[in-house]
Amino acid sequence: MPTFRVETPQRCYSAVVERGLVARAAEYLPPKAGRVFVVSTEDVWRHAGQALSAALASMPHTVLYLPGGEDHKRLAPLEALAEEMMRAGATAPAW
């Protein structure tokens, strides 16, 4: 599968790019992942959400929405999202 190395000042990781990947998303999650939180904008979720929901059907998951647009790329929406995750039962990763 094609992967690309992504390097930022904070860390490096591999990004997987492949047709049909969304339908196989659960394959890329650790076996003990626990509840999965999917963060999306509502318009992106309308486009790809059905395939991702089907892929995660065997795993507990919650979809959370961030507002779209450049003017919403601020800390306040992320703080609200973190609080929403905690209310929905988020815990520290097991890996």
pLDDT single digits (tens) 15-67: 988 898 999 999 988 888 888 999 999 999 999 899 999 999 999 999 999 98
Q: What is the rounded radius of gyration, in angstroms, for the C-alpha atoms of the chain?
A: 15
Strand pairing class (61-65; 36-40): parallel
Own/partner contacts of 74-79, CB < 8 Å, gap of 24 or more, are none
**74 burial class (0-12, 13-18, 19+ CB within 10 angstroms)?**
exposed
Q: What is the pTM of this model?
A: 0.76
Q: Which of 51-55, 68-72, 91-95 has the lowest mean pLDDT?
A: 91-95
